Chains A and B, each alone.
Chain A
Amino acid sequence: MSSWQDRAEQGLSRLVEASAVERVLISLAALVMSIIVGGFVILISGWVATCSDPFLAQQVLISIPGTGGWGVQFPIPGSFCYNPIQVYKYLFVGSFANPQTSTLFPPDFILDKFSLAVTLRQTSMLLFAGLAAAVAFRAGMFNIGTQGQLVLGALGSALSVLWVAPYVPGGLVGSLILIPLGLVVGALVGGAYGAIPGAMKAYADANEVITTIMLNFVATGIAFVLVSEYFKNPASQTVETRPVPGAAVLSPIVFPSQASFSILVLVGALALAVGIYLLLHRTAFGYDLRTSGIQPEAAEYGGVDAKRTMVSSMALSGAIAGIGGTVYVLMILGRWQQGVPSYGFDGITVTILAGNNPLGVPLAALLFGMLKSGSLAIDFALGVPKQLVGVLRGLIILFVAMPEFFRMIGKRVTTPEPSGAVAADGGSRIEGGEDDE
C-alpha cells in the first residue's frame, strides 16, 4: 500500500526534523531545570550555613504595588545566607568581568582579561575532552575513559618533551620541534590507550562502559607509579615531573602571561571541532562511524567493518583526549603532576549537553568553561563553595538523560494537534535521514 508507505515516510521525516530542534530544546530545558534545582540547593545550603549578614532573615516584606512600600510581613524560618540570583550572577558575570562592579549590560561593563582568560582556558580544555567523547559516542561506543586517555597522553607528551629537550636549541626553533612532538606523542599515547577497550569490545565482546571506567583507574595508578618511581622531579615534594623547558610552553598571546592561556590553542580546538564535523559528515569513514552508532546491524549488513570501526573510533577519541592532555601539560601546568582535574568527565557532560554534535560542543564547552571559572568568583566573593559547579554538572546530565520528562511537560502545556493537520510540505525533507543532531 503506497499510502501506508507515504505515511511512514512522512512520519520518519518529521521525526528527523523534530529531533534536531528537539535536541536543542531539550538541552536548553535541561539547563533551565538545573538552574532552578540548583537555586534550591543554594537556598537550602544558605539556610544551613551560618553567616553574619544573611540576605533573608526572620521575615520577608512583600510589598503591595502602588502603595509606596506598604506591604505584608511574612515570618520565615531561620536565615538564608546565599541569594541564588546573586550567586548565578556572580557565576556567569564572574567568568569574564568583575561581578562586584559590573552588571551584565553597558555602561558599567568592564571586561576582566584575567577572568576571561581563565574561562577560555577551561573552554579549550573542555573542547578537547568534549570532542573526544563525542567521536566515540557517535560511533555508539560509550567511552567513559577519556579521563584515563587524557592522563596518559599528558604524561607521554611531558616525558617525550623532557627527553628530547636537551638536544634541541631554545627559542622558536625549539618550540617548532618540541610542541608538535608533544602533540603527536600525546595523541599517539591517548589513541593507543583508547584503542585497547575498542579492541576488547570488538574481539572479546567486553562491555566498553566497564572497561573504560576500569582503565581510568589503571591509567591514574600507572601514571602515579611511573612518575613517583622513575620520573620524579627530585627537587619537589609532590609526585610530579620536572618542568618542561620554556620553548615547549604554549605561550600566552593577547592575554596576561600568568593566565596560562594561549588563544592559538582555542583556535586550534575550534578548528578541530569543525574538522571532526567534516570528518563525520563528509567522509566515508564518518559515514561508517555514524551508521555503526545508530544501527550497528544494518551498518554491518551494508558492508561496514564493525570491528574496525569500533577500534578506530575509540582510537580517534583517545587521540583527541591525548591532545587535550598535552595542552594541559604544555599550556596550563608546565609539567605532569598527579591529580589531573577531571576534564574527561566534564567532557562527557559537554558532549551529552551538545547532543554529541561536534558543532554544538564549543557552545557547551563555553558554558561549562564559564561555570568553572565563575565558580572561583562565587567562592571568593560570596563564600559559596566552588563545588557547587559539580552539583550543577550532575543535574544537567540528569535532566538531559530524561527527554521524556520534558516531552511529558510539553504534552501537558500544548494541546495535541489533530493528526490530519500536520501536512507534509515535502520541500523541507532532510537528505540522509540518519542525521540525528
Chain B
Amino acid sequence: MNKRLRIAGASVAIAAVLAVLGLVFPNSALGKIVGTINASYVSAALRFTVPIGFAALGGIFAEKSGVTNIGLEGHLIISAFTGVAVADALAGSGSATQTTLWLGFFAAVLASTLFALLFAVVCIEFKADQIIAGLAVWLIALGLAPFASKILWGGINSPSVGTLSNWRIPLLAKIPVIGPILFDANPTVYMLLLAVPLTWFVLNETAFGRWVKASGENPMALDTVGVDVHRVRYASVLISGTLAGIGGAGLSLGQAGLFNGSGATMVDGRGWIGITAYLFGNYNPLGAFGASFLFASLDALQLRLQQVGFSVPRELIGVIPYVTVIIVLVFVGHTRTPDAAGEPYESGEE
C-alpha cells in the first residue's frame, strides 16, 4: 500500500515538474503539450472516465463479495448497444428527444443488470468457474451486439441518435476553471462523481458493505452469524451489472450518440481497463476512480496532441494503460484479492 502511494506521489511530482517546465518554455514541444491542457481538456477526460470508472466500481462490488466478474467488458457492450437500440426504436422515424434518450438509458442499465443476473445464477447457483463464465459473458455480448445491430439497422453500426445534453448548474458554472469542468457536465459525469463516494461509503460504513467484505473474505463466518451468503453475492453482482450498465450507456448515449459494433465494438477494451483500474486502486473506489481518470486523461491527451499536430499514433498511447497495469502488478506486487474470490460457496445445510 505504501509502495503504491509512493509511486502515485512520484508520478504526480514528475507531472508537476513537467508542467512547470512546459510553462517556462512555452515554445518547446513540452510547452505545446502543456498548452493543450485546459478546462475543456479536463472535462473531456472526465467524460472519458465514465465507462472505465463505472466498470471499475462494479468490478469492486462483485469481487469484494467473492465473485470475480471479468465480464465487465460484456456488460458495457450490452448496455451501450441497448441504450442506442431502445432510443432509436422509441424515436421511430423522427429523431430521438432527450426523453427517449433517457428511456434508452434506463433500458440499457436494466439490460446490463439482467445480464448480470444471468452471470450470478451461473456462478452462484451452478457454481460455474467464474473466469470461464466471465469470458462467456464477454464473448456473448461481443457476438450478440453486432448480430442484433445487423438485424436492426442492416449494418454493425447504428445511425446517430444524439447524446444526453449537459446539465448546466446556474451560478456555479460561472466559477472560473472548475465551473465549466464540474458544473457544466454530462449527467453521466455527475453520476460518476456521486457514485464514487457513495460506493466508498456503502462498502466501508454500512452493514451491507461489511457483509460484502465478509462474503469475499470469510463466507463461512458470515453464514455463521446468519446472513445468507448467496443473497449478498447476488446483490453485489447485480450492483456490478447496474454500475457497468451506467458506464456503457454513458459511453454510447453520453458521449458518442451511436453504437459502433466493428472490431472489439466501441467499448474497445474499456471494461478490461476498468478491471485494471480497480486492481491499480487496490479495491478502493477512490483509488479506482483515480486510476480510471489517469487512463482516460491519457486517451484525451492523445486526441489533443493530434489536434495540435503532433502525430503520435493512437495505438501507441493506447497501450500505456495496459503497460502501466503490468508494471504495477509486477513491481508493486500482488494485489491481494479477497480470500474467497473465485470460489463458489456452499452453506453446510444444503
Contacts and interface: CB of A to CB of B under 8 A. Distances in A.
Contact of A221 (B152, B279, B315): B315
Interface in A174-212: 200, 204-207, 209-211
B126 A142 contact: no
B333 interface: yes
B150 A387 contact: yes
A349 to B, nearest CB: 7
A112 interface: no
Interface secondary structure of A, over-half rule: helix
Interface string B272-303: 10011001000000000000000000000000
B193 interface: no
Contact of B136 (A217, A222, A229, A394): A394
Contact of B331 (A49, A204, A397): A204
Interface string B254-288: 00000000010000010010011001000000000
Contacts of B146: 385, 387, 390
Interface string B128-171: 11011101111111111011101110001000000000000000
A215 B326 contact: yes
A225 B263 CA distance: 17
B16 interface: no
B151 to A, nearest CB: 5
A406 B326 CA distance: 38
Interface string A390-411: 1111110110111011001000
A402 B122 contact: yes
Given A225-B313, A404-B127, A217 B139 contact: no
B316 interface: yes
A339 interface: yes
A220 interface: yes
Contacts of A222: 319
Given A210-B329, A390-B142, A397-B139, A218 B322 contact: yes
B133 A401 contact: yes
Interface residues of A, number: 49
A214 B151 contact: no
Given A48-B152, A210-B325, A214-B276, A204 B142 contact: no
A387 B143 contact: yes
A213 B142 CA distance: 16
Nearest to A220: B315
B318 interface: yes
A144 B138 CA distance: 13
A240 to B, nearest CB: 15
A225 B135 contact: no
A221 B268 CA distance: 12
Nearest to A398: B136
Contact of B326 (A142, A200, A389): A200
Contact of A390 (B143, B326, B330, B334): B143
B315 A224 contact: yes
Given A218-B322, A221-B319, A398-B133, A210 B276 contact: yes
Nearest to B129: A401
Contacts of A220: 315
A218 B323 contact: yes
A316 B116 CA distance: 36
B282 to A, nearest CB: 14
A205 B132 contact: no
Contacts of B151: 45, 48-49, 385
Given A388-B147, A394-B141, A402-B133, A204 B122 contact: no
A345 interface: yes
B111 interface: no
B147 A391 contact: yes
Contacts of A408: 126
Given A200-B329, A211-B329, A391-B143, A401 B318 contact: no
A204 B335 CA distance: 11
A217 B316 contact: no
B122 A398 contact: yes
Contacts of B263: 339
Contacts of A205: 333-334
A352 interface: yes
B272 to A, nearest CB: 6
B101 interface: no
A228 interface: yes
Contacts of B329: 200, 204, 206-207, 210-211
A270 B122 CA distance: 34
Contacts of A211: 326, 329
Nearest to A345: B139
B132 A401 contact: yes
A162 interface: no
Given A204-B330, A220-B315, A402-B128, A389 B135 contact: no
A136 interface: no
B70 A209 contact: yes
Given A45-B147, A144-B135, A210-B325, A394 B128 contact: no
A45 B144 CA distance: 11
A239 B144 CA distance: 28
A408 B127 CA distance: 11
Nearest to B263: A339
Given A144-B135, A402-B126, A391 B140 contact: yes
Contacts of A389: 143
| Chain A CB within 10 Å, residue with most, of B315, B319, B335 | B315
Contacts of B143: 387-394
Given A213-B272, A220-B315, A404 B150 contact: no
Nearest to A207: B329
Residue from the set A204, A224, A387 with the largest chain B CB neighbour count within 10 Å: A387
Contacts of B135: 144, 348, 397
A385 B150 contact: yes
A402 B150 CA distance: 30
Contacts of B150: 385, 387
30 contacts: A41-B147, A45-B151, A142-B131, A204-B333, A209-B131, A214-B323, A214-B325, A215-B322, A217-B272, A218-B322, A218-B323, A221-B316, A225-B313, A225-B315, A229-B313, A385-B146, A387-B144, A387-B147, A388-B143, A391-B140, A397-B133, A398-B133, A401-B122, A401-B133, A402-B122, A402-B127, A402-B128, A404-B127, A404-B128, A408-B126
Interface of A: 41, 45, 48-49, 142, 144, 200, 204-207, 209-211, 213-215, 217-218, 220-222, 224-225, 228-229, 339, 345, 348-349, 352, 385, 387-395, 397-398, 400-402, 404-405, 408
Given A391-B143, A408-B126, 5 more contacts: A206-B329, A339-B263, A395-B140, A402-B122, A402-B128
Interface of B: 70, 122, 126-129, 131-133, 135-144, 146-148, 150-152, 156, 263, 269, 272, 275-276, 279, 313, 315-316, 318-319, 322-323, 325-326, 329-331, 333-335, 337
